Structure 1
């Protein structure tokens, strides 16, 4: 099953952080489940000045 994720960076931020908080132990697991390139998520959220923090498992 292919999941779609929001394309708008702010919506993507909210969606991703919620998924990380509620369902995944890390960004790699999230990306595998949604079949999306981890680099794509990181770069898209860097556009709005957010970076992934492994210690908190969220983009901050």
Structure 2
């Protein structure tokens, strides 16, 4: 289960990306997450995925 709070979600997703996944797409596939839902939640607090950094910034 992933965090519901957007700030906690940001921390969780970026940690997972840093430690285990080469891309956001890979993370979502492996954890069966809806990419658009995650992007919307993180966008609501001003964060967008950066492909070259492989993190939400």
Residue 28 of structure 1 is matched in structure 2 by 25
Q: Provide TM-score, normalisation by structure 2.
A: 0.97
Residue 14 of structure 2 is matched in structure 1 by 17
Q: Deviations over 1:14-46 (max 9, x none)?
A: 000000000000000100111011001100000
State the aligned residue count.
Answer: 57
Q: Which runs of 5+ in 1 are unaligned?
A: none
Shift of residue 50, structure 1, vs aligned partner? 0.2
Where do 4+ consecutive residues of structure 1 move more than 3 Å? none
